Structure 1
């Protein structure tokens, strides 16, 4: 029997192991890319400007990425290929029929990309509605749907008004000694309104932020808008679509996300424990069981048809806290800003609301009896959607129909495109909402009248199948569950504030407004630190 010397046994050094991993990854990536190339339509698109980052760096550094998407759609067609990091690309859909097809199949054919899943898990925990797909997503959504029915939201209207009147009382007190008006930082107040409202309406908990109480979760939310991402984090985000694990590397931004997760987790656990105890003691009645937290507690039951694990219950609470806090406060702030810039629109809205006298609009009036209020709200949702884009990964090969033919890179004219499994698909929602091709030459302008006149919205815009021809609330099986809640709260709060106060920009109508990039884009005054919107507010007799 021969004996093999230890010296002859090959030793796998760390550098060799890394090389093998890199080569293996590269080979798999090449095979997948070749398959996608063979199976997919060869689309036109802008040239790659950077070998490492593609055009992702151009987009992240742009002050208005939506304008870039629109320009590329004009140059290369309503569906085009966009170069991304490390030789990859994604398909951008700007065609209404293609978008409708995509949304109809979202959650099954088009699923949450790995990066989005990682980010969702870090921020919300595993099992959230935002990070799930397929039957899991359907089950989670179905369990929460009763809390967002028209009947359920109708009963919450008084809560919306309560938050608005708490704000009115605080401002009245401030303005008593300032008959000519005072400068009020309205964004912070809109944050307070949103937090207290989702707390009471969703979880039977008053955060008390409108009464001056400190809320840790609000403090962490707000810190996102004022925190400036480090250059390292910028590079991580550019490469993360290829290497999702990069976002888990320790950095100030990730620590902020983890702090928010912990803060939302702490309050969610506290609310769940209190509600479980009340249920055991028989305190919770039929109405409370149909609230958000009541439905979550019910879904915790092992015998429930739509059973959720404790981890899933906690994740849904974080989703609803996040969505309820951020989106409505942003929309309300934008509304006050745009109405401050357009005094004629502000006066017209106030005139409509004053016809009701001193009474608040009823539910029926909020939903269909105040056309100009409805117009202002939907114009804000069109121009300033809290979520500006959506990306999904093709889980299978698919054929996407188009409303108008496009020319491929080989010169062929097609009315449908083939996409291969593994293709990343993007919808630039903000760009579509503001598209000149869809909404006309005044698409970038704040013009509520477009929603009032019968011909105010073009036939082309009407091809978009989302809520009121907007992509603000997405569409299909992933359409925003809380859109009715959000619109009703938006209208109720705005109706109280516009009837009670007049609003002007602190530095005049030519004040330039910028966008702060936090968890969601928020308005701010250009050139000023922080994420604040100071307006001159006056009481109306």
Structure 2
């Protein structure tokens, strides 16, 4: 497209967006102002809002500073977020919720009163269909009840050997790389390998399908997921998504990104349909595959046996796409950060290896129950990685109806009133800054920015973290009725992988302990070395003697 043509398209798009926004503003004015007037940083642009953050910056530090300056609930004049990799500001205001009572209200008291934006729903629907990540209200309740048996402790206990086996496949591959190096050590892109491990584990444990990427097999799913990291959302795609709210037909325009979504969804549905069909035939023949304990097989069984909470075949298949979307990035990124922190903190790495080696040198691998209760330092490292490097940085929702949000500490409003609750109108964007709360000095003390697993053992928490609900007072898995259903799955996969890799290998940062890292915004927020183009994480790896 020629520059003048592209400019004309953008001008026309902005005009249409302006008209659409004008109608919305008129409707709001007719209703009268109901939002509490909150303090917050000034806008840099009426159109583009607050655009201070670069693609590699961490906004959690600014959020924490603004909470101190403006109060635990404040507003920033920034964008409608379309996805984790892009945003568009069009004069909107987002309310940042750092108050623990308000956070609990959003997560628990008004679970279905705060929903995904229509833009987010459109994007999620193009990837996964009618899965639990997109469901709201009664549909979400019904799907969650059907899914719960597949993520119970009993189910995850039986899946733990899958996670251990995947970790040993990585060990075999790394041993081969080390055997070919005369120095006995080599630089390995651990992020790429954690991607492979995450996908293969999800495939086998999720729906009895081995993608085989650890052993170098080609996978369409892996190819698509890798492609996402190289494709940025263009301005044309951004405006198409926004205009799609007013003109839905525009969302059907094919783009490179849309084609990737379509390819990803088609392949996951193809694999899932195959398993659904095999399961149906086994049931008709009264033959049970006792070796297969995958999530989807338990889900099919649970759904078909339930008269109260049945799921359609379309919904069952959508859950598997949801499992990959939700689990792939969070698992691989969290494991990558764990290896980075162990490389940065050699004493922590040594202490963890000693715990794992002393107890299991001749006893094989830990069991699921031992992962849960028998390895206190592994548990501490896991909690600290989840605290410092949550896979999700923000929960962004839109108020489905007018609401009053209670506060634990009164705040001063922009019109100089002291309030212990705030009013929000339907359509208001709110954000719970997970990363900021998990690393806040208010909740975790003056050493909150330090990687310190000992805080979980010594019990000398300096802050007031007990005010935060959630798993271990962390928001990494969310909270309330929508808390991440896959939490036990993720924890078992994380601990099993780390136990195998740390017992067999030692890790150091490739470029030394002072290596500078930044955030790469691709399909998700991934660590990368400052100045390098790709989201890779090369660590120096050697065998443990």
TM-score by length of 2: 0.88
Structure 1 residues 257 and 308, CA gap change in structure 2 (3 angstroms)? same
Task: State the match for 1:122 in structure 2.
Answer: 126
Contact 2:128/2:318 (8 A) holds in 1:
yes
Moved more, 66-75 or 266-275: 266-275
Root-mean-square deviation over aligned CA pairs: 2.7
Task: Please name the residue that 2:42 is paired with.
Answer: 47
Cα deviation, 1:501-539, whole Å, max 9, x if unaligned, reads 101111111112222212221122222222211111111
Q: 8 Å contact 1:107–1:477 — kept in the other structure?
A: yes
Q: Does structure 1 conserve the Cα–Cα contact (< 8 Å) formed by 2:111 and 2:480?
A: no
Are residues 1:78 and 2:72 paired?
Answer: yes
For the residues of structure 2 that align with 1:70 and 1:371, how far apart are their CA atoms? Answer: 30
Matched, 1:374 2:379: yes
Alignment partners' CA distance in 1, 2:75 and 2:214: 47
1:257 aligns with 2:261: yes
* Within-5 A mapping of 1:489-504: 489-504=493-508
Post-superposition shift, 1:444? 2.0
- Contact 1:515–1:523 (Cα < 8 Å) also in 2: yes
Distance between the aligned counterparts of 1:247 and 1:334, measured in 2? Answer: 36
Q: List aligned pairs for 1:417-436, cutoff 5 A.
A: 417-436=422-441
Aligned-partner SS, 1:530? coil
Relative distance call for 1:78 and 1:25 in structure 2 (3 A) is closer
Query: Cα offset for 1:487?
Result: 0.7
Task: Map 1:64-213; keep pairs closer than 5 Å.
Answer: 64-84=58-78, 85-125=89-129, 127-178=130-181, 179-213=183-217
Q: Residues 248 and 341 from structure 1, CA distance in 2 versus in 1: closer, same or farther, beyond 3 angstroms?
A: farther
Deviations 1:164-191 (A, max 9, x none): 1111122223223435311222112212
CA contact (8 A) 1:80 1:93 kept: yes
**1:259–1:345: structure 2 CA closer, same or farther, 3 Å change rule?**
same
Whether the aligned pair in 2 keeps the contact of 1:505 and 1:511 (CA below 8 Å) is yes
1:29 maps to: 25
Aligned residue number for residue 344 of structure 1: 347
Q: Distance in 2 between matches of 1:51 and 1:21?
A: 14
Alignment of 1:55-66 (within 5 A): 55=50, 57-59=51-53, 61=55, 63-66=57-60
Query: Does the residue aligned with 1:108 lie in a helix, a strand or coil?
Result: helix
Name the SS of the counterpart of 1:355 in structure 2.
helix
- 8 Å CA contact retained: 1:225, 1:522: no
C-alpha separation in 2, matches of 1:363 and 1:291 = 16
Shift in alpha-carbon separation, 1:364–1:22, aligned structure 2, 3 A: closer
Unaligned runs of 5+ in 2: 1-13, 79-88
Q: 1:201 to 1:47 in 2, by over 3 A?
A: same
Q: 1:222 aligns with which of 213, 223, 226?
A: 226
In the TM superposition, what is the alpha-carbon distance from 1:236 to its structure 2 partner?
6.6
Distance in 2, matches of 1:21 and 1:387, equals 30
- Aligned-residue offset at 1:272: 2.8
- 1:136-535 equivalences in 2 (<5 Å): 136-178=139-181, 179-230=183-234, 232-233=236-237, 250-285=254-289, 288=292, 291-298=294-301, 301=304, 304-356=307-359, 357-358=361-362, 359-456=364-461, 458=463, 460-535=464-539
Kindly tell me the number of residue pairs found equivalent between the two proteins: 518
- Within 2, Cα distance between the matches of 1:221 and 1:236? 22
CA 1:22–1:381 in structure 2 vs 1: closer, same or farther (change >3 Å)?
Answer: closer
Q: CA deviation at 1:422?
A: 2.4
**What is the DSSP-based 3-state SS (H/G/I as helix, E as strand, rest coil) of the residue aligned with 1:39?**
coil
Deviation track 1:89-138 (CA, whole Å, cap 9, x = no partner) reads: 1221010111011100354222222112111111112x221111110001
The 2-side partners of 1:176 and 1:29 are apart by 66
Q: Contact 1:67–1:431 (CA<8 Å) still a contact in 2?
A: yes
Q: Which residue of 2 aligns with 1:5?
A: none
8 Å contact kept, 1:400–1:418: yes
**Which residue matches 1:11?**
none
Q: Residues of 2 paired with 1:90 and 1:241: CA distance? A: 21
Gaps of 5+ in 1: 1-17
* Residue pair 2:36, 2:424 contacting (<8 A) in 1 also: yes
Secondary structure of 2:381's counterpart equals helix
Residues 496 and 244 from structure 1, CA distance in 2 versus in 1: closer, same or farther, beyond 3 angstroms?
A: farther
Q: Paired residue for 1:3?
A: none
Once the two structures are TM-superposed, the CA of residue 382 in structure 1 deviates from its matched residue by: 1.2
Q: CA deviation at 1:62?
A: 5.8
Measured in 2, the distance between the counterparts of 1:369 and 1:319 equals 32
Q: Distance in 2 between matches of 1:62 and 1:175?
A: 33
Aligned twin of 1:38: 33
**Partner deviation per Cα, 1:49-85 (whole Å, 9 max, x = no partner):** 1111212x33464611222222221221100122133
Q: Which residue of 1 aligns with 2:5?
A: none
C-alpha contact (below 8 Å) 2:58/2:519 kept by paired residues: no
Deviation at 1:385, TM superposition (A): 1.2
SS at match of 1:209: coil
Deviation at 1:439, TM superposition (A): 1.8
Give the distance between the partners of 2:287 and 2:215, measured in 1 at CA.
26
How far does residue 228 in structure 1 lie from its aligned partner after superposition? Answer: 3.8
What TM-score do you get using the length of structure 1 for normalisation?
A: 0.89
Flag the 1:519–1:177 CA change in 2: closer, same or farther, 3 A: closer
| Greater C-alpha Rg | 1
For residues 271 and 215 of structure 1, do their structure 2 counterparts lie closer, same or farther at Cα, with a shift above 3 Å needed?
A: farther
Q: In structure 1, what is the Cα distance between the partners aligned to 2:56 and 2:16?
A: 38
What SS does structure 1 have at the residue aligned with 2:454?
helix
Asked whether the 8 Å contact 1:298–1:304 carries over to 2, the reply is no
Instruction: Provide the residue aligned with 1:9 in structure 2.
Output: none
